[in-house]
Structure formats: C-alpha cells, structure tokens
Amino acid sequence: MSPTGTRTPARMADGRELFYFDDPGRPDRVPPPDTRDLPAVQTGSTMRFDVLTGEWVTVAAHRMDRTFLPPADHCPLCPTRPGREPSEIPADEYDVVVFENRFPSFALAPAVDVPAGVDSAVDGNPLWPQRPAVGRCEVVCFTSDHDAAFAHLPTERVRTVIGAWADRTAELSAVPGIAQVFPFENRGLEIGVTLQHPHGQIYAYPFVTPRTAQLLDRAAEHRRQTGRDLFQDVLDGERKAGTRVVLEGTHWTAYVPAAARWPVEAHLVPHRAAPDLAALTDDERAELAELYPDLLRRLERFFGEDTVSVDPRPPYIAGWHQAPVHTGRDLTRLHLQLFSLRRAPGKLKYLAGSESGVGAWIVDTTAERIAQRLRDAAA
C-alpha cells in the first residue's frame, strides 16, 4: 500500500471512466459494477471564435437538461446504498472519486459521442472559425458525506484530494490536444451550483483560457523589461509589505492581491515556481493540506457577525490556475484564486455596467481591509 493512498480505475455503465482515490492504509479496493442501464453520453458542443476578442466561446446546448438541485436522497454523487436508486458512484462508500461528467462541456471519444462533421466556419464565413469542443470534463467528489464541506475535511483526506488533482493534471496534460488543465470548486447556490454534495470539477481545455493568456502576456512583458519573474516579484512584494498577507508557511503564502476585484479574494501561492499540482513535492503537498482548509475556514468566519460566528456555506469559487501544457511554463506558476460574490451577510456583489459591459472593475473596499478581516478570522 502506497503511503499516499491508492488509485483504482473503473468503468461506468455507459463507458465513462471513474477513479477511486483512497486514503492511505485502506485495503485494496475491488470496484463494484455499475448496474444501471445508461445510454451513451452524447454532446453537441462546439467552439466558436470571437473575432472581436480573440477568444473561443463554447456552445454546449445539451447541458440545459443536466441534473438540477435534486433532493439529498437522490443525489447522484452520494454512494450507491440499499434503499436508494443507484448513483454515479457504484460503491457503497468512498474517500475521493473522480469520473467523467455525464453532461460535459468538452469531451473525448470513445466514452462520449463527440460531434463530427462540424463546419469549419459559421455560415461558411472564415471570419468565424468553428470546431468541435474536444477536451475533458471531470467531477471530483471530495467525500461520501453529503453534508460535509472541504474546509472541515481531515488533513489526510485533503492530501488525498490534492493527490487526485495532481494525478488527473498529469494524465490529462498528456492527452493530445489538451492545452490547459483547471481544477476548481464552485460552492453555493449563489454561484450557480446545481448539486450540493461536496465536489469540484476539472476542465481540460483544448485552448489556453483568456485569463491565463493575459497572465502570460503580462509575465512576458515583465521579463522583457526587467529580466525577472513577475510572479516571484509579486510574491516577494506581498511578503515584504505584509499588510495583505493572510497566512504564511514554509512553502506557501496566502495574500489578498493589491488590486483585488471581489468583495473577498485571496491567492495561495507556492514559494517555489511549480508549474502545476503534479510538480509539487511531498512537503509542499503536506503544508498545502493544512493551509488551504485554514483559508477556507477563514472565509466562513469572514461573513459571521463577529470573528467567532461562522457561515458554514459561504458561496465561493476556488480555482487552481496552472501553467499551460505546452507554452509559457516558465512564465507562470501554480496558484489558487479564492473569491466570493458575497459582499456582506445576505448581500451579493452584482456585476454592474462598468464590470460586465467593459470589464472596468470598481470595488467597495480595500485589499488591506479584506486581509485584516481574514487574519482576524483565524480559528
């Protein structure tokens, strides 16, 4: 048995891949069969190029019919147990599970029926290139406990999740045509989450996403002008100033960026220029398993009426930005961006005309105040 746990592959009834990631010390797993009678997954996803922005827009009309807020006893992410209908996970218990999404925005054959014969341009006009949305979308279930939260998982389980992220990052990065791998968690109804079970997703894109492309452009320009690493300079500057640092370890620092856009936003950055989760050392993973849940718990307390009160389900997005697979791996580094749309208990920040219309952000507080409140929210 590996000291970092085990990975056991399986297949779902419709051919999709599923992986069980078990905590260290578990006996070898024998995956039970998926007894459901499922039709093949079909997608009609295409990508259209926006000539005005230089960005790809994915059209995934089939996702209109995906599962939406089922009752807990019909949750498709809970284990399959006596007295309830079979779920997406055939086993009656699990630690961490990763499987191909049944309603993917991006998909690969053979488990999914990927559309063929897509016209190379919309209306036959080369102004608007078009192609199939070939990639991969996976679901990551953090625990079999429907009522749990990532912030309160035991450290050993968080390490198993980190191991699963790293495993999938490495494997998906080796798939031909994949340009970027993005693990993330959406939490809360306000974010648009349709399943309440603790879970995240991993998207393997066939293109470099707009935010990452922008980061690479800025990092390349900084290197041209100074000869230095932009991410290292930012990290060094935040640690030196200290006013926006939330927590700091031997290998990681969490800080509120100086130009934070969201009501609550924090970045968790490794001190070493690791390109992705798969490149982390054992020591870096071990410390991450301690600091990341700590940061999430501070977010819970941030929205309490005082530093003791806790909101157990604050809405947030936690995204792991990783270096692209084939380009710019020396210009950027792995980092977490954690942010919430909530600006106060019961109040959301709605993107107004300035933000939504032209991307010019206007914020209601300072990064220094956000950082101080997160520091005060320590357990």
The tens digit of pLDDT for each residue in 202-248 reads 999 999 999 999 999 999 999 999 999 999 999 999 999 999 999 99
Q: What percent of the chain has pLDDT over 70?
A: 92
* The pLDDT of residue 70: 65
Q: What is the CATH number of domain 211-376?
A: 3.30.428.10
Judge whether 6-207 and 211-376 match in fold: yes
- For 250, phi then psi, to 5°, come to -75, -35
Confidence of residue 135 (pLDDT cuts 50, 70, 90): very high
Residue ranges of domains in the chain: 6-207, 211-376
What span, in angstroms and rounded, lies between the C-alpha atoms of 34 and 65?
Answer: 22
The contacts found for 4-8 with CB under 8 angstroms, 24 or more apart, are 4/159, 4/163, 4/282, 5/95, 5/159, 5/160, 5/163, 7/164, 7/167
List Cβ neighbours of 207 (8 Å cut-off, separation of 6 or more): 47, 56, 179, 180
CA distance to 251, 298, 346, 366, per residue, from 265 (Å): 20, 12, 18, 11
What would the pLDDT profile of 13-57 be if each residue is shown by its tens digit?
A: 999 999 999 999 888 899 999 999 998 887 878 999 999 999 999
Q: Are 91 and 20 in contact (CB under 8 A)?
A: yes
* Mean of the per-residue pLDDT values of the chain: 91
Token pair for 378: 């320590």
Provide the pLDDT for residue 1.
Answer: 35
Distance CA 170, CA 181 (A): 9
Higher-confidence residue of 66 and 330: namely 330
The whole-number pLDDT of residue 165 equals 98
| pLDDT-based confidence at residue 5 (cuts at 50, 70, 90) | confident
pTM: 0.93
- Averaged pLDDT for residues 316-342: 96
pLDDT at 194: 80
Catalytically active residues are 199
Confidence of residue 185 (pLDDT cuts 50, 70, 90): very high
> Of 3.40.30.10, 1.10.3720.10, 3.30.428.10, 3.40.50.720, which CATH number belongs to 6-207?
3.30.428.10
Residue 62 scores a pLDDT above 70: no
Rounded Cα–Cα distance for residues 213 and 180 (Å) = 11
**8 Å CB contact between 141 and 89:** yes
pLDDT digits (tens, 9 = 90+) for 76-132: 999 999 888 899 999 999 999 999 999 899 988 766 666 667 888 999 999 999 998
